[in-house]
Structure 1
């Protein structure tokens, strides 16, 4: 039987997950890890195997029996693929519970949530809320409505920790931005685009002008993708060094990921500036999305309204671990022009 720590990662080819996996493979103790990744693409699976990663073909979203089986065989699981898939999370947790009941091991789960959980109402782009959440305020975290975004999955993860068959942690990024780098990007394995800003860019390109919800006044915490990946590994290291029982878990293991704030208007204006500079728009000044445009470009009108909300927080727990993020909103705004150019070029192909 292998003496290596069995680690399972969901989202290994993803935007954040690829950067986390790259760090694990370069880790000083990497020789002691046995890393398995669930991958949908056979071509990417073969490439990952060339880096020493075991792969299993399948889908976290659809292959629940497989997810359960893989989780049962892992001591530590990184879930970095979907914050809102409750059935998949239930399968994962069932696997961890099976492992505990069969072996006595208390496995560890590091789950990726999202800071949209602290959105308070639909601000329609016209309000800056004063409240700034802090991840060390456990009472406030516990009071978040069960109907909040991501909360149903988060609650399942909290419950597993409370029942005692797993030690669970959650990392909750705000707006994630920037171009990841590393071996998986170079090999064409890792996704290089996030969600929020690219959707704004695609909408702007389609309408021929940058847009925002309402006046674009609300603020969201933001984090560069590489800074976000650092939190996962810092938390992993703390657990490895001290033992999961000695690192705050459950509600005490909730980590916001964000180093700065930006308004949606500032982001929209940076998109407009980039489009004008690239000859993709005549005007740089953003205008408000219509209700029809929100429904058209952001899946539904209700989802589109999220780009007009506030999500403000402090990443106190990560900084207590020694997290020293290198990027600020200045870097976010500077990242937008190359992203506009990349998305515009991709749309031509």
Structure 2
């Protein structure tokens, strides 16, 4: 039997039908769903026709702190990241940059010590620890009390980061690169972000292909969530990220963005990391990554409009301002 997928058609309009369902305990609602099957034309049906299990996955409240949109600020402690390589390569600069992002509106700081841009090479464990753990410890010593995420594929790096004060593990490989990483997170009892991405960033853009990119990414994330639960990580501690720009063409990225709300059917919170990616520069006529803030903000707001709980961004202050105005315009303030 062909598998059926259900995508809520999310609205944030102030006029809401009485029959509408609240999406994930948050700000969006839906009264219709798109029914998707591989190789078939999608159809739209009333949400009242959802099977009970599918409806429960969509309406079950996510963690309380994610009942409103959140901003994750990117702090790359690397010399070679695609957008801001070198800006925060020194520990003191990274700490200062993270604190500035917090003041500008970042709810979460994501500290990464290994570039995962196309063509990037793997960084040795010790070097990655030296780039990240002192920054995390420095942010805590400076009084930052918000969430700190470590962006790593490696168990020993995550363990050092958690000891330094991190409280979320964000793995671009979907916990497939290092089989010990899930255990580190499970033992610590911390949330994790599982992303659809390749094992090797160096080759991920070499002609990526999918049978159906939307459903293939969904199936991968579903399988990884099941695997993480089996390792002892509770579903309400899992965040899913479709991995925009990781092993995907521009058309792949746009296909995922158009139906992003499908990933709420996983029954977990959703994160989008599209900030300053190449497709934004291509469509927005901004060849230099540093000039892609307007396009990045547009994509982030579009994601929040589909109920995505977290946007991972470089331009925190600008995104926070846009988000505040968007929320006011839909009656959320």
Is the shorter-chain TM-score for this pair beyond 0.5, marking a shared fold? Answer: no
More helix by percentage: 1
User: Highest CA radius of gyration, 1 or 2?
Assistant: 1
Q: What TM-score, normalized by structure 2, do the two folds share?
A: 0.32
Q: What TM-score, normalized by structure 1, do the two folds share?
A: 0.31
